[in-house]
Amino acid sequence: MGVLVGRETRALVQGVTGREGSFHTRLMLDYGTRVVAGVTPGKGGQEIHGVPVYDSVREALAEHPEVNASVVFVPARFAKDAVLEAVSAGIRLVVVITEHIPLHDELAMIRYAKLVGSTIVGPNTPGVICPGERCKLGIMPAKMFESGVVGLVSRSGTLAYEVARRLSEEGFGISTFVGLGGDPVVGLSMVEAVRMFFRDEATQCVVVVGEIGGTMEERLANYIASRGAEKPVVAFIAGRSAPRGKKMGHAGAIAYAGVGTAESKISRLRRAGVTVARSVSDITSLVAKYIS
């Protein structure tokens, strides 16, 4: 089992009959992911790519009790209800691909998930992939991710794809990639994800791709400064030239004076002992120093 996902994962897709849900279900199946059920209210009884569709999560679980993860492709206005339905039914890993979910909906579903012990990855995440165990829950281009020994955590999807491609081409590969999501509020935090990689036997080094906005990277720096890093950590922070107070791409990528800037994150991480790359192209050479 990789970090969060692996060959033991049995997935349900919420919003499976929609355009995005159907398309990415096919790609997940082609990759090797065990997608055993789908849910779209009012569409029960159909099949999508051989996957049976049910009207509710509880109906799906009644027929497929082995389900232990859900991938959410539901439109933003229905996403909160979909996530709460999955968590209430006992699913302990919910990967929320949907973007533009209202902030108060995000807060409500993340709070409830924490109360009952479920993990939400996202919202607005590319997902999670474990190449060595052929399990992908999300929308990332699988060809960028070769199996290897580097754990990759990122707030940005496209930057993570480029980092994964470079690490794979250099022969280091990826043990698991976790996309945290680009919104200001997300479920799984950077600290939580990095701690999972510290405990993962398949991971020798952790690469963190951060960006301006929020305090995830600062919190990671605080954690490592106080607890220490159990494995080497290499970080890259995007947005050095971003103007302050202007949102850059992601809703969470906005920096104000002295808060959430690339400079503040880089400084804090370096003081904590984290190796910080100046550019994406530097990451592989820095990783090479730590991998035998």
Enzyme catalytic residues: 250
Q: Which helix (H) or strand (E) holds 36?
A: strand 35-39
Tell me, rounded to whole angstroms, the distance of Cα 207 from its chain centroid. 14
3-state secondary structure of 67: coil
Query: What is the three-class DSSP state of 156?
Result: coil
Tokens of residue 194, six digits: 């990095």
Which residues does residue 119 pair with via DSSP β-bridges, in sequence order? Answer: 93
The C-alpha atoms of residue 259 and residue 97 are separated, in whole angstroms, by 27
CA 30 to chain centre: 20
Backbone φ and ψ for 211, nearest 5 degrees, come out as -155, 170
76 touches 123 (CB < 8 A):
no
**140 vs 122: CA distance, rounded Å:** 14
Residues 239/248, Cβ–Cβ less than 8 Å: yes
The residue whose two tokens read 């968590």 is 87
